[in-house]
Amino acid sequence: MICPTTCTETKDLQIQIDTEMRGQLQCKQIILDSDDMTREQTRKLTPKEILSKANLGLEKLSKNMADDLQKDANEKPNDVKFVAARILKNGGVLLKMVTENGAEWLKQKKISKGFERCFPGMVTIKGKTYQVVVQFLPTRLRHCLEEITPHIKEENEMS
């Protein structure tokens, strides 16, 4: 008979491993959002076609920003390449890169703005956002929260 604590420990370890792997995967992901017209055009494409267009966008980015990147000593790493694409239910696109290093480079504000300009229409790279629920927060703090909300949004680059 297997001891219940062993099962619990095994289950906890599996949850921890799954969480770490999910985190590593998310670090390689880029989410693109767009305006309605671009979304409609995107829905007509296959994931393979989207992947091809995204990698062409990276090539175009390298050419368009070559001087800026050299000047800033922020050259494109060798491992910057998309390897998978998926159209999300909301019409956005989830792209997976080869490495975390490539995704981190692309997520830099100046780089991501340059990448967004490589596509027709209105395309933006979205950051990961997390909804937070604070239970039992006194309602008398509502006034304070309304004052600090703009600062929270600015600090998290959500504005």
pLDDT at 46: 92
Q: What is the mean pLDDT of each run of 10 residues along the chain (159 residues)?
A: 65 73 74 86 90 92 77 73 91 91 88 87 76 76 81 73
Number of residues written out for the chain? 159
Cα separation, 139 vs 28, whole angstroms: 39
pLDDT at 129: 61
CA angle 56–59–65, rounded 5-degree value: 135
pLDDT at 98: 92
With a CB cutoff of 8 Å and minimum separation 6, the contacts of 72 are 110
pTM, rounded to two decimals:
0.66
pLDDT at 70: 65
pLDDT at 154: 79
Domains in the chain and their CATH numbers? 27-129 (3.30.70.330)
